[in-house]
Every structure is written in structure tokens, then in C-alpha cells.
Amino acid sequence: MKDVAAIRRALISVSDKTGLADFARALAQADVTLLSTGGTAQYLRDLGLHVTEVSDVTGFPEIMDGRVKTLHPKIHGGLLAVRGNAAHDEAKAKHGIDDIDMLVVNLYPFEETVARQAGYDETIENIDVGGPAMIRAAAKNHASVAVVTDPADYAALAAELASTQGLCLSTRKRLAAKAFARTASYDAAIASWMAAQQQEQFPQRLTVSGTRTQSLRYGENPHQLAAAYRTHGAGVLAAHQLQGKALSYNNINDADAALETVAAFDPAQGPACVIVKHANPCGVARGATLAEAYGKALACDSTSAFGGIIAVNQKLDADAAQLMAGIFTEVILAPDASDDAKTILAAKKNLRLLLLKDWPRGSEHGVVVKSILGGFLAQTRDAELFDPKHLKTVSKRQPSKQEMDDLLFAWTVAKFVKSNAIVLARGGATVGIGAGQMSRIDSTRIAVAKSLDAAKSQGGTEPLAKGAVLSSDAFFPFADGIEAAADAGITAIIQPGGAMRDDEVIAAVDTRGLAMVFTGHRHFRH
């Protein structure tokens, strides 16, 4: 492979014409002959540039509504011919094929068509065939051909072309790698959409593709490399960052946990606030105002909240922002923020404020992928909306209305706490959370201890668990967890049920005068 390849003929056929005018002019300035198709050719002519139609090269018109226009030996031969290969040179001479040294192509907007939920026939028509075929041909022959698929590369390529009268091998290799990644991503999007049309949740080949939004300083630890990739839809990576330094791997991971949790609380039903530390909620609350919700969430575990991530489900106002500015916080995530709130938080230079106008639904469906050595696991998102009608009271005592409200609140929060998960709640707020323990009794003890710490921080002496309710993400295998909860003053319990010793657990509940309801399904989160 020679290092610098001259660019004499370029074929341009793009759907997205962003930046094309300046790039095409730069090519023309470098005496590059321009070939093009349809609308792109007309666009270039309107710029005053001389363009040769592909149909004039092939001697064959565009047919079938443009489905067939570049699928021709005079195009693919020009892209694929190995320069200096005697047999290839002979074939070119015999069939009148001229070299094409650069291909500038971006594809029909298939992903955008799917995103706006276009009909089946329109979506099919936005599956590009000729574009990917040419891209692969040019990328394969990067020894001599430059393939350009991203308008973001135009300026740098124009500068290199002007300075070296060609493009160097390292540039062509980089462009080829980028091109193959683009066609792979494009095909992945098509495969996913086609599988969805067949209602295949898990097809034989599951393709996962994302676009890098940022390279990160490091991963979970400084010795790990990391980057963030966006797929589609609402999420942290779609948020607009107003201030602060770039997000870290751990910031993004924790912000995602906070967003997913707070999204479970419908904004139409009132303000809600979530504080997350190390991917676990350490305080969750509803309130009449965001300030009240934040205050109640903070009271659950103010120690862990230091350096945490806050997410709220409504427009951030000045009162809430003023309270949040009172302690060190890494990230605040909200649908929007008032000008006064922005001004208050602007004084906290290390705080990142993220606004996400495309707010996710609490019942957001999709597939969750987890990497393992040698592969990955895939499962549907735990997005089922729980219907209280499915609750079964198994204790002698029925829960009161207030207890039932708190039980449902605690059950919602438990869904987002790492297993084994125990959530204590009272008055629409968590008062103690036990997460990620190997035994459920340990999680219960931790939640109770946290509730005592919270009480002491507020000048009290009794655990806030007294008079609270308890949610467990899975069944209690033994009655010891029930005994520990009752000793702490818990009055009602919500759990899936289904243990071999359910009868013993229910008996313990009745002996202590507690109320208990079964949900019939669990919420493990690992």
C-alpha cells in the first residue's frame, strides 16, 4: 500500500447534506472530478459545480423509483479495482471502467424513520441498498480508495487534501473502520426493527449497536478505559448538561439509576425526588413541593447523600435548588429548571446540572443487556406496572389506607434497590434502605440501623422504622426477618410470597399483630 493516494474522481451521494457545500467546493478546488446521483447531483449543480451523473457513466438510467442506480460494474469496478494489478487493469480497459478514488455517502435515514414511527411501507423504502454496497466496496479497497460516511470528517479531509494532494494511508484506514462500523450499525437497526415486526423479543442473532457520545476519563477505576455509547430514546446520554466538568463513568451509571427510579413516579401525581449513591437509592420521597420531597429524601440518609446524584420528576424551582446547594452533590437531573434555579446552582462550579426534556416513562420497555465473559445476557426491562388489585392480604389484620399507600410506595422503590433489598417507608418517604446483602436478614438489620441513624441526625432517639412499613424485593425464607422488623416497630409488610416457609412467616406476622400483603412477583436487581 502506498502511503498517499491521489484523489482524482469522487462519487458523492448523500441523504444528509450537512457541510457538503464546503467539502464539495474543496474537492473541486483540488481538481477532483465529481460524480453524483439524483438530488445530490442537482444540489451540487446549484452550487455552480460541474457534476457528471452516474447514469452517464453507467449508460443506464436510474430505475424502479431510484432503487437501482449505482449497482453497476462501472461503479463497483471503479471502487474495487486493485491499483497496479495487471488483471484488474486489463478488465478496466476491456469494460471501460475508470477508477473512483473517493466515495462520499451517507445512508437513507432509516433510524430516523423508525424513530418517528413511520408506517411499514415507508420504513422499508428507507432501507438503503446501494449505499451500504458502495461503502463496503470502498472500505475494502482502502489501500487506494477513501470512503467518507460522516460529515464531521469533511473539514479535516479537505485540509489534508489541500496540503498533501491526497489522503494518507492512516487516514484511509481510519475512514474504512468508521465506514464498516456505520454499515454494521445500520444493519443492526434494520435487523432489530424487522425482529420487532415479527414480535421476536429475542431473535436468533441479537445485534446491539450504539453511537459514542463521549470518551470518558476512565471507567469505574482510573486504570480502566471507558466510553459512553447512546442507542436511542430518552436517557441520561440524551440530557443537556448546563454546567460542570464532563461526566464520569460512575456519574453516568448513578445518574441512570436515579433517572430510572424517579421515572417510576408519575409527575402528574406530584413531585418526587430520588437521591442515589453507588447505583442504589439512599433516599426517595414524594412531597407537596420539590423542596419538601428533597428534604424528606435527604432525611433518610443524609450521610450517604453527600456526593450523590439527585433526580426530580418536575421542573426544578428555586426553593428546591437552594436546599440542594446546601451539600456537595455530583449531578442534578430534571426535566427542566427555572432561571432562578439555574442561577443558584451556577454558583456550585463542580455540580453538573442535566436537563432532559424527553422524559422517560416509568413503564419504559426494551431489552437490558449485561456483559459477561465470552458473551452477554439479555432480558426485558422490569417495566411492569403493578396493579394493586393483585395484592393478597395474608395476615389476619388488614393494612390501613395509610399503610397501603406506604406499602405501594415502598414496593415501587424496592424495584430499584440492589438485591437483597429491604425498603422502609412512612408518609411517602423512605426512612431506611438495606441493599446488596447476601442475606435478607442482614438487609433488614441495615435498613433498621439506617432508620436509627436518620432519627439521630434529626435529634431523635427511636428508629424512624417505628410506625413505618417494609418492602422486600423477594420472599422472606425464614421468620427471622419478620421478627427483626417487628422489633424495630414496623407495622406492615409487602413482599412477593412463595417461600416454602410462608406459613411460618405469616404466623410470625400474626403473632406480632402486623399486616402483610403478597404481590405474587419479585423485583430482583443485580
Catalytic residue set: 140, 278
Q: How many other CB atoms are there within 10 angstroms of residue 139's CB atom?
A: 25
Q: What is the percent of the chain with per-residue pLDDT over 70, rounded to a whole number?
A: 99
pLDDT confidence tier of residue 310, bands split at 50, 70 and 90: very high
Of 43-47, 122-126, 197-201, least confident by mean pLDDT is 197-201
pLDDT confidence tier of residue 2, bands split at 50, 70 and 90: low
- The Cα 313–Cα 301 span in angstroms is 20
Per-residue confidence (pLDDT) for residue 115, from 0 to 100:
86
The backbone torsions φ and ψ at residue 237, rounded to the nearest 5 degrees and listed phi first, read: -70, -10
CB 301 within 8 A of CB 433: yes
Strand segments (E) across 231-295: 240-243, 272-277, 280-286
Res 376 pLDDT > 90: no
Which residue shows C-alpha cell 430510572? 260
pLDDT in tens, 403-435: 999 999 999 999 999 999 999 999 999 999 999
Strands 9-14 and 375-380: what pairing?
unpaired
Strands 367-372 and 392-393: what pairing?
unpaired
Nearest to 201 by CA among 368, 363, 376, 416: 368
Per-residue confidence (pLDDT) for residue 1, from 0 to 100:
46
- The Cα 91–Cα 81 span in angstroms is 9
Query: In 3-state terms, what secondary structure has residue 107?
Result: coil
Q: What is the length of the chain?
A: 526
Res 65 pLDDT > 80: no
Cell numbers that stand for 478 in this block: 425464614
Query: In 3-state terms, what secondary structure has residue 49?
Result: coil
Of 66-80, 391-405, 471-485, 501-515, least confident by mean pLDDT is 66-80
Average pLDDT of every residue of the chain: 92
CB 174 within 8 A of CB 181: no
pLDDT confidence tier of residue 22, bands split at 50, 70 and 90: very high
pLDDT in tens, 232-264: 778 899 999 999 999 999 999 999 999 999 999
Q: pTM for this one?
A: 0.86
Res 368 pLDDT > 50: yes
Mean pLDDT of 316-341: 96
pLDDT confidence tier of residue 363, bands split at 50, 70 and 90: low
- Which of 103-107, 200-204, 374-378 has maximum average pLDDT? 103-107
CB 63 within 8 A of CB 43: no
CA distance between the termini of the chain: 50
- The Cα 358–Cα 361 span in angstroms is 9
Classify residue 358 by its DSSP letter. Answer: S
- The Cα 170–Cα 156 span in angstroms is 13
Q: Which helix H or strand E contains 518, and what residues bound it? A: strand 515-518
Greatest Cα pair distance, the chain, in angstroms, is 96
